[in-house]
Amino acid sequence: MFHLIKFAIWLAGIAVIAYFGLPYLGYEINLNYFNESKSACQQKLNDCSKEFIKQGTQNAKCDLNCVDPKLIIKKN
C-alpha cells in the first residue's frame, strides 16, 4: 500500500514539473483537447459498436485510437 501512495506522489510531482516546465522549453499543452475531440471519439465508438454488432466478434476491426499526443502537446 505504501508503494502505491509513493507512486501516486511521484506521478503527481512529475505532472506538476511537466506542466510548468514544458512551456519554459517552448511547448504548449492543449488542456481543452479532450473536450474538443469528445464528439469525434464518440462517433468512432458508435460506428465501432454498429460494426461489432453487424459482423460479430470474429471480424470486427475497430480503430479506437482517440488520443493523438501530437495534438495534446505542441511545439511553439
Please write the tens of the pLDDT for every residue from 19-52: 899 999 999 888 888 888 888 888 888 888 887 7
Strands 27-29 and 73-75: antiparallel
- Higher pLDDT among residues 48 and 5, named by residue: 5
**Global pTM value:** 0.53
Reading the block at residue 69, the C-alpha cell is 499526443
Largest CA distance in the chain: 50
The domains of the chain are located at 2-75
